[in-house]
Structure 1
């Protein structure tokens, strides 16, 4: 599924489920054939666990891969869950597939992140040999930090006990890579500040190890406007973006030889397009949910309308209207689902869109349901799937419900079509001022439509609509009052 955020940069969402953990991602193609990939990791408070995904990177010309840090319901620093490093293997698997599909090498990649995202950028960059690493206010002693500062994340990564030996293991993953001189040719950019409360414990003790790297660059901000950890990245966003633009162009901001203009406008994108399609969050092979109630074009009450259906293989059905999320309905083991809105519907026509979601987060194609809500419709009784109940003659038919024209509707046309529902009826008849106008047949599902075939005179009209069964027994009448505001001069309906 694609979305168009600010500045109209198309973003494609997907899930790579080939590893031990499904990895959710967002991807945006490069502009003008730029031959570079920016991989973005998220901090602890990133919206929806995607970092730097609010449009701030939209002007970059490179490909951008945002990776979500949400595994089994929690953050993991992209490393481990319960000390199982299958998370790391799944993440590097996704990155490698994208790099290969783009026809790039690790030298064409920049890893980017702040806070825990900065830690991930350092770790994956050093361990897997990526050329450029930009890490703002990272934590390098990860185990101690999550145990002491964010224990919920600590328990998710280390296990409930947060055993001391596991804390030490996580504390060592980054320092051990630095001490070993992993990826010695990397261009490393680290941002920190003495005003960052984490600096003295999470960055300063490891500067000697970082300074062994020939291309290590340390941006040390001492602005009086920096008051805490979160402000360091905010105050340094302009220079950080400047570094990003240069790295994307193949220029590491340091003296030496640099390559510029690394572009391929007509490059073959078939491999990356194939990968994106195969891992798209919307999978065509995953059947769209079936809606058994309400029926299409049903007339529903303001409250109490029951939605139901089937979605085999799904764990939930997501329900939306006009791009706004309404609810999620859990799916039972047999595939059935139901939902009743807990707030009233507004009167009028509604188009609700639904899709199924499987255990890995993949989504089905969409199902649309069109229905009309009327204040003149009473809620159905429990267990009844019909969209309405209405007044009925003793032992007889319910009065027909008229969907169109709306009660007291203002119609700017003299060609009026009548539509509605009359469950159990064979015919629906129409009268105005006691004069019979016409009758129409009722479909087996109760739907009926009548097109008079004449022009109605301008002004207010009151038409009585009556249902009749196969033997001629009639229901109570439903009055419909509407006004024609733009009729042809002198036009009158037949019988007037």
Structure 2
């Protein structure tokens, strides 16, 4: 059910499961028909991993989308989990769907965040072409920062051992965008202070690149009451909120009045209502059956490895598994209604309670099924053992770096690139037809160009990995659009 803020504004919560990673969100409708969207990213200390969610934005008149940074139980800067950038594509997909459902464009969107959230706001704004970015004390060398300052977050993003080469990859993503002039027309509002201990390494080296942006605004905060990183945001809440209110009204402070009274109180809201209903609604008992769990048996005992969670879910396209609020996985449901899932790591010994709900083709959720079982070293499995049980360690689905999710590609040439560690080759299918394949290099990289011009319009291509023994991974779907024009690419041409 929706909950209300202190001033009565309803907050709708939901999970968008249409991407590779389920993305949890909160949403508040605009007041008085305001035609703007503010997307809020969380900092490291945000309550429940939702940023600026304590009521400080209650009076903002725009639509507000808060996105939770919690994927597989870890923080990600909205970028990657153990260098798997499907987090980024899933978050970008959620934003794109909300923007489209509201009938807006990237010019009608403000990305907002502080610290970790500021880094995300800057990254998504520059890469995906949003017009307004409000970033308070971001980190621009993300990899080094999480590796040295927050190793727990570093392990979540970089992987065990905090590999230095992975840190270098994350260090480069924001500076590379700035050097390339990405999002050059964006209105950027950056807040920082020389009293922030991160300023010499995370901000100052990049100010010159930012100054090349014609609409860059720098709020340099100096005060005897500011002595550390977190205090910069606290001391600058009033001006930050002032910027937000002006942007919502169509006023970019540096450029002067661009639009005011941006309201359509009688506008049709059926598209956003439908999206919220599909992602936030749990269908009533009997309308959509809860999934059935075949294994593990209720109250059963199992070893740490060598088995799958299996079951059936009639009418579903996927199921979603959770334990103690942590997302475990979202396996697809086969045509015959069966599904199975295995963890990437051995189960911890002890008692487990896994909650599972089904997702139908429209994105609605069933009521939840809970299964309780125990895991013990060397335990003999109890309960039914499906014939299709296979050992853990199956080949992972490939990571696709390009095309980006919902990218609009000018011209007919489409080049696919990505990673598939452990695979010998990757293959490409569309509508069940094999399009081609590409070998995988020793370091897991692959690239493929079809060699023919793609037809104008929308395309869905499934990319799958194949190991040396001929075993095939589950596919990674790639959705993009081709336009035979000369304009630049944008994720909103889809």
TM-score by length of 1: 0.60
Alpha-carbon distance between aligned partners in 2 of 1:20 and 1:217, rounded to the nearest angstrom = 35
Secondary structure of 1:254 counterpart: coil
Q: Which position in structure 2 is the counterpart of 1:122?
A: 122
Q: Which position in structure 2 is the counterpart of 1:24?
A: 24
Change (3 A) 1:316 1:78: closer
Shift of 1:165: 1.6
Q: Deviations over 1:147-179 (max 9, x none)?
A: 000111111111112222211110000000001
Q: Which position in structure 1 is the counterpart of 2:14?
A: 14
8 A Cα contact 2:357 2:367, kept in partner: no
Q: Deviations over 1:314-352 (max 9, x none)?
A: 86799xxxxxxxxxxxxxx9xxxxxxxxxxxxxxxxxxx
8 A Cα contact 1:23 1:67, kept in partner: yes
Change (3 A) 1:15 1:205: same
Alpha-carbon distance between aligned partners in 2 of 1:281 and 1:198, rounded to the nearest angstrom = 42
Alpha-carbon distance between aligned partners in 2 of 1:116 and 1:314, rounded to the nearest angstrom = 27
8 A Cα contact 1:356 1:363, kept in partner: no
Change (3 A) 1:83 1:204: same
Q: Which position in structure 1 is the counterpart of 2:357?
A: 358
Q: Which position in structure 2 is the counterpart of 1:407?
A: none
Alpha-carbon distance between aligned partners in 1 of 2:76 and 2:262, rounded to the nearest angstrom = 35
Secondary structure of 1:112 counterpart: strand
Change (3 A) 1:316 1:116: closer
Secondary structure of 2:280 counterpart: coil
Shift of 1:26: 0.3
Q: Which position in structure 1 is the counterpart of 2:211?
A: 211
Q: Which position in structure 1 is the counterpart of 2:168?
A: 168
Q: Which position in structure 1 is the counterpart of 2:259?
A: 259
Alpha-carbon distance between aligned partners in 2 of 1:84 and 1:130, rounded to the nearest angstrom = 24
Change (3 A) 1:171 1:263: same
Q: Deviations over 1:393-451 (max 9, x none)?
A: xxxxxxxxxxxxxxxxxxxxxxxxxxxxxxxxxxxxxxxxxxxxxxxxxxxxxxxxxxx
Alpha-carbon distance between aligned partners in 1 of 2:320 and 2:172, rounded to the nearest angstrom = 41
Secondary structure of 1:225 counterpart: coil
Shift of 1:261: 1.0
8 A Cα contact 1:289 1:356, kept in partner: no
Alignment of 1:53-452 (within 5 A): 53-280=53-280, 282-284=282-284, 287=289, 358=357
Change (3 A) 1:117 1:4: same
8 A Cα contact 2:291 2:357, kept in partner: no
Displacement over 2 Å in runs of 4+: 281-290, 311-318, 355-367
Change (3 A) 1:256 1:239: closer
Secondary structure of 1:24 counterpart: strand
Larger Rg over CA atoms: 1
8 A Cα contact 1:288 1:356, kept in partner: no
Secondary structure of 2:213 counterpart: coil
Change (3 A) 1:92 1:283: farther
Q: Structure 1 unaligned segments of length 5 or more: list them.
A: 291-310, 319-332, 334-354, 368-496
Secondary structure of 1:358 counterpart: strand
Change (3 A) 1:315 1:130: closer
Alpha-carbon distance between aligned partners in 2 of 1:206 and 1:56, rounded to the nearest angstrom = 30
Alpha-carbon distance between aligned partners in 1 of 2:243 and 2:43, rounded to the nearest angstrom = 19
Q: Structure 2 unaligned segments of length 5 or more: list them.
A: 293-311, 314-318, 325-338, 340-353, 370-494
Q: Which position in structure 1 is the counterpart of 2:446?
A: none
8 A Cα contact 1:41 1:121, kept in partner: yes
Alpha-carbon distance between aligned partners in 2 of 1:198 and 1:362, rounded to the nearest angstrom = 43
Q: Which position in structure 2 is the counterpart of 1:43?
A: 43
Alpha-carbon distance between aligned partners in 2 of 1:262 and 1:207, rounded to the nearest angstrom = 32
- Counting matched residue pairs gives 315
Secondary structure of 1:100 counterpart: helix
Alpha-carbon distance between aligned partners in 1 of 2:322 and 2:174, rounded to the nearest angstrom = 39
Change (3 A) 1:179 1:363: same
Alpha-carbon distance between aligned partners in 2 of 1:227 and 1:30, rounded to the nearest angstrom = 36
TM-score by length of 2: 0.60
Q: Which position in structure 1 is the counterpart of 2:423?
A: none
